[in-house]
Amino acid sequence: MLKVYHLEGGNFSEAGSASSDIKKLLKRLGLQSKIIKKVAVAMYEAEINVVAHAYSGDINVVVAKDHIKILVSDKGPGIPDVDKAMTEGFSTASEKVREMGFGAGMGLPNIKKNVDDLNIKTEVGKGTELSMRIDFQH
Amino acid sequence: MKDNEKNKKRYYHSVRLKEDDCKGCTHCIRTCPTQAIRVYDGKATIIEERCIDCGECIRTCPNFAKYAHTDSLDMLNDFKYTVALPAPSFMAQFDPDDIPLDKVYTALNLMGFEYIFEVAAAAELVNKATEKFMQENKKRPVISSACPAVVRLILTRFPEYAEYIAPLEPPMDIAAKISKDMVMKKTGCNEKEVGVFFISPCPAKVTAVNQPEGKKKSPVDGVFSMTDVFDAVMSRIQEIKETKNYEHAGKYGIIWGVHEGEIRNVHVEKKIAVAGIHNIISFFENVDDKEFSSYEFIEVQACIPGCVGGVLAPTDKFMAKTRLKRLAGRMKESTVKREKVFEDYDMKFFIMEFFNEGRKLQPRSINRLDTDIEKAMEKAEKIDVLMKEFPGIDCGICGCPTCETLAEDVVQGKASKFDCIFVLKEKIKNIKEELGDISSGKRIKDENK
């Protein structure tokens, strides 16, 4: 099944509502708590990334019986150096964002830790496309 | 119906309905934190596996149709020796400057209780056991296990947090075990001859005794309503000529009866106290993983402002809170004798599973739509489709608390989408138009085109 969400840049209070909704869905499907937690963490971090860095973003979630795929595509500045962005503690978040308690440079590393597959397509000045997959059985 | 009867045997509930008094209004279905109530055919029905006995519906029902089943005070006659276990909140039901605690306890003696053991004293011990447990176990955060309504809420609605609940016995159970031991040693009688009774501010404790989570049997023999005991005490106050002296728990135990009482004596840096069942739900729904794992200890109490706000506590909750704080302020931090009791029992005494044949708290999710994931997905998709048909105003006229719960009930075959008056109205409009078309011959003309 498909779930679609939209995010606006800078709207921090809205970030997290998509992952909450998916969390609720996965509970309904009766998935294990540790899988739900992984999905919720990865998706929440992705949502924060969009509102902290991009102008807007769309999330498409496809739930299958044995895995979940999450595609997050945003219109934004893109990531100039993906390897650097994957390093724990590296952040390009603005001072304003940091003051709100975000931008610790843990977003992408945290996503990677929680997913089975992660793909990043990015173009500087245009935007970023993050696709991730989490398997239900291990 | 068959399902309902089967469940009735599976679950004990203190919270019950007086069907004759129920007018079928929708107050209770809206405030129920686990969406456990529906109104069918003009009467409320409690869904047994969803109800956590918090008592919110008792608080809300304008017709007093909901009540908490508690034990009758006559039960005191069934035992050779009896012990009263007053909850800390009980101590706040009387103004200490008007009716001192010792006078209240003298009245309890007059009522037929031979012994009185304050649950607050056991709370002090649980505080210490918590500290010891946290030194020995590094898993964080630790969620308090003291409030049975919240424990049930987590097991049913937030099973993902069940593993964080402290495996510690609540103060009520510890008080029951210690006091029973004491009386048996003192009198030389056997276990069955001693009746231990909790004086409860809430129905959740009644259920915790009759059908405890994670254990076979509670050490408590009966639970009395705080209101019943309050009335019995008040009716005997006048006849008291001589007040006896009693030993009292320390301030850190007494203060457990109010919000932030338990965490006061848990000495860790990052701790949080959440009170109110709806606040607890929004906490668990909104807390992100990072924030959650940054806490070391979480106090959770279903009532505001803590147990003094329980539905069976007769005194106004904020008055009671102030009194309890005043009372605690006059007490010693902790009594030496209590310390000794703690030395007499080792850590095992406080850990739930040692006394319950290795039983542990078992999550039992009420969120799951189907045991088969593909069927569950089909149902989830149907819910999404139904949600587009429903108005989303949660009017409650269908008997469900929200449009979403109606959608859930429909996919589970427990309701029809036409229970929604908006969907029904639309359907009637369509039928009317169709009938109009047929009678005017428009339909036949259209079909011949």
The third-level CATH classification (topology) of the domain covering B2-68 is Alpha-Beta Plaits (3.30.70)
User: Mean pLDDT over residues A10-33, rounded?
Assistant: 92
CA distance B341 to B390: 60
- Nearest-Cα distance to chain B for A78, in Å, is 26
CA of B391: how far to CAs of A17, A44, B429, in Å? 21, 29, 16
User: Mean pLDDT over residues A99-122, rounded?
Assistant: 88
CA distance A57 to B368: 30
CB contact under 8 A, A29 and B368: yes
Closest CA to B231 of B103, B93, B62, B102: B93
User: Mean pLDDT over residues A106-131, rounded?
Assistant: 93
CB within 8 Å of B211: residues ≥ 6 apart: B11, B12
pLDDT score at B354: 64
Dihedral sign for Cα atoms in the order B357, B360, B366, B368: negative
Q: Where are the domains of chain B?
A: 2-68, 73-355, 373-448
pLDDT score at B1: 37
Q: Is the pLDDT of residue A138 over 90?
A: no
Residue corresponding to tokens 């035992």 = B79
**Candidates A27, A135, A136, partner chain B, best to mutate (most B CBs within 10 A):** A27
Q: What percent of chain B has pLDDT over 90?
A: 80
Q: Is the pLDDT of residue B30 over 80?
A: yes
pLDDT score at B4: 46
What are the CB-based long-range contacts (under 8 Å, 24+) for A31-39? A31/A136, A31/B373, A32/A136, A33/B159, A33/B160, A33/B163, A35/A134, A35/A136, A36/B160, A37/B160, A37/B289, A38/A114, A38/A115, A38/A134, A39/A68, A39/A70, A39/A114, A39/A134
pLDDT score at B446: 66
Number of domains, chain A:
1
CB contact under 8 A, B289 and A44: yes
* CA angle (A104, A24, A31) in 5-degree steps: 95
Q: Is the pLDDT of residue B7 over 50?
A: no
Dihedral sign for Cα atoms in the order B408, B411, B414, B416: positive
Q: Which residue of B has its CA nearest to A63?
A: B377
CA distance B347 to B128: 10
Per-residue confidence at B344, pLDDT binned at 50, 70, 90?
low
Partners of A36 on chain B (C-beta within 8 Å) are 160
**CB-CB: which of B288, B367, B377 is closest to A63?**
B377
Partners of A33 on chain B (C-beta within 8 Å) are 159-160, 163
Partners of B374 on chain A (C-beta within 8 Å) are 65
Average pLDDT, chain B: 91
CA distance B395 to B393: 5
Structure tokens given for A82: 């993906």
pLDDT score at B343: 67
pLDDT score at B339: 59
Per-residue confidence at B355, pLDDT binned at 50, 70, 90?
low
CATH number at residue A11: 3.30.565.10
User: Mean pLDDT over residues B111-123, rounded?
Assistant: 95
Note the pLDDT tens digit of each residue in B279-317.
999 999 988 888 899 999 999 999 999 999 999 999 999
User: Mean pLDDT over residues B419-427, rounded?
Assistant: 96
CA of B53: how far to CAs of A11, B47, B306, B331, in Å? 38, 11, 16, 33
User: Mean pLDDT over residues B260-287, rounded?
Assistant: 95
* CA angle (B149, B281, B389) in 5-degree steps: 120
ipTM of the modeled complex: 0.87
CA distance A113 to A130: 14
Partners of A16 on chain B (C-beta within 8 Å) are 286, 288
B284 and B258 in contact (C-beta within 8 Å)?
no
User: Mean pLDDT over residues B411-426, rounded?
Assistant: 96
pLDDT score at A94: 84
pLDDT score at B359: 67
Residues of chain A numbered 42-71 and touching chain B (CB < 8 Å): 44, 63, 65
Note the pTM of the prediction, 2 decimals.
0.90
**CB-CB: which of B286, B371, B384 is closest to A30?**
B371
B281 and B153 in contact (C-beta within 8 Å)?
yes
pLDDT score at B425: 95
CB contact under 8 A, B376 and A29: yes
Burial class of residue B92, CB neighbours in 10 A (0-12, 13-18, 19+)? buried
User: Mean pLDDT over residues B358-381, rounded?
Assistant: 89
Q: Is the pLDDT of residue B376 over 60?
A: yes
Per-residue confidence at B191, pLDDT binned at 50, 70, 90?
very high
CA distance B410 to B423: 13
Q: Is the pLDDT of residue B158 over 50?
A: yes
CA distance B163 to B361: 9
pLDDT score at B259: 97
- Nearest-Cα distance to chain A for B134, in Å, is 23
User: Mean pLDDT over residues B364-372, rounded?
Assistant: 91
Q: Is the pLDDT of residue A50 over 80?
A: yes
Note the pLDDT tens digit of each residue in B35-67.
999 999 999 999 999 999 999 999 999 999 999
Range of the domain at A105: 2-135
pLDDT score at B447: 64
Per-residue confidence at B209, pLDDT binned at 50, 70, 90?
very high
pLDDT score at A87: 85
Between A89 and B378, the more confident residue is B378
Residue B81: how many other CB atoms lie within 10 Å: 17
**Candidates A1, A3, A4, A29, partner chain B, best to mutate (most B CBs within 10 A):** A29
**Candidates A23, A24, A25, A137, partner chain B, best to mutate (most B CBs within 10 A):** A25
CA of B414: how far to CAs of A106, B365, B407, in Å? 45, 19, 10
DSSP state of A87: S
Per-residue confidence at B345, pLDDT binned at 50, 70, 90?
confident
Between A77 and A95, the more confident residue is A77
Q: What percent of chain A has pLDDT over 70?
A: 99
